[in-house]
């Protein structure tokens, strides 16, 4: 669906937020505690912004590369 909002479109301004990254791989993580601290912080910030809990995080290309966040 393509909705145009010309009455507010020109007044919108993006808000950017920079968060610390992580240099370690998440591949092989099977639980929240296996993820780098900054990755968990990033996910928590996304949850705050959208107001919805993240239940699964993909850590690689395969179907079994999934971390349940709130088991």
Model's pTM, two decimal places?
0.78
pLDDT at 14 over 80: yes
The upper half-sphere exposure of residue 53, i.e. CA atoms within 13 Å in the direction of its Cβ, equals 6
Residue 16 is predicted with a pLDDT of: 95
What 8-state DSSP symbol labels residue 2?
Answer: -
* Residue 7 pLDDT grade (very low, low, confident, very high; cuts 50, 70, 90): confident
User: Can you tell me the distance from the alpha carbon of 68 to that of 34, in angstroms, rounded to the nearest whole number?
Assistant: 11
């Amino acid at each position: 669906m393509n909705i145009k909002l010309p009455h507010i479109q020109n007044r919108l301004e993006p808000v950017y937020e920079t968060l610390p990254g992580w240099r370690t791989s998440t591949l092989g993580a099977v639980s929240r505690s296996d993820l780098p601290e900054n990755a968990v912080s990033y996910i928590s910030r996304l949850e705050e912004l959208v107001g919805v809990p993240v239940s699964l995080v993909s850590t690689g290309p395969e179907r079994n590369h999934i971390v349940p966040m709130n088991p």
